[in-house]
Amino acid sequence: MAALLDKLVAKVCDHRDSVPVFRIQQRSLDEMEGFAIRLAGSLAGEDAGDAKSHVARGQSRSNILLAEGVRASVFHASGAIVAKAALAPMEHLIGDRSDKAALTQSVVAAAKRLGLDRVVGAGEQLLFERLWQIKAAGMDGSGVRSPEVVCRAVGAFRRYLHDLPVWGRASAFVELAGENRIGAVGLDWRPIVAEPFDRVKVIAPEQAARAVLGDLNGRLPGGSFGEEDFDVGLFSLGYLSMPKRHEQSVFAPVYVAQLERRGWSSTNYIIIVGGSETAYESYCRKTSSPPRDAAKPKPGDKPAKPQGGHGWDPMAKPKLCHD
Per-block mean pLDDT, blocks of 10 residues, the chain (323 long): 87 93 94 93 67 87 91 95 90 82 93 91 93 87 83 95 94 93 95 94 95 87 72 93 93 94 76 92 52 44 45 61 50
Please give the pLDDT value at position 51: 61
Instruction: Say if CB 111 and CB 157 are below 8 A apart.
Output: yes
For the segment(s) 2-23+195-274, the CATH number from 3.40.50, 2.40.128, 2.30.29, 1.10.3470 is 2.40.128
Instruction: Say if CB 81 and CB 71 are below 8 A apart.
Output: no
Positive/negative CA dihedral, 140, 98, 314, 17: positive
**Where, residue-wise, is CATH 2.40.128 in the chain?**
2-23+195-274
Tell me the sheet residues that pair with 160. 125, 165
Please give the pLDDT value at position 275: 94
Which residue stretches of the chain are H helix? 2-11, 29-43, 100-114, 205-219
Cα 304 from Cα 296, distance rounded (Å): 15
Please give the pLDDT value at position 184: 95
Nearest Cα to 8, choosing from 229, 234, 190, 204?
234
User: Which positions ≥6 away from 230 have C-beta within 8 Å?
Assistant: 4, 259, 260, 261, 262
Half-sphere exposure of 155 (CA within 13 A, CB side): 25
Instruction: Say if CB 214 and CB 4 are below 8 A apart.
Output: no
Please give the pLDDT value at position 323: 45
Instruction: Say if CB 234 and CB 248 are below 8 A apart.
Output: no
Report residue 156 CA to chain centroid gap. 8
User: Which positions ≥6 away from 192 have C-beta within 8 Å?
Assistant: 22, 23, 24, 25, 121, 161, 251
Please give the pLDDT value at position 19: 95
Please give the pLDDT value at position 182: 94
Cα 228 from Cα 262, distance rounded (Å): 7
Nearest Cα to 107, choosing from 165, 170, 32, 53?
170
3-state secondary structure of 182: strand
Please give the pLDDT value at position 218: 83
Please give the pLDDT value at position 297: 44
Q: What is the pTM of this model?
A: 0.84
Cα 318 from Cα 129, distance rounded (Å): 9
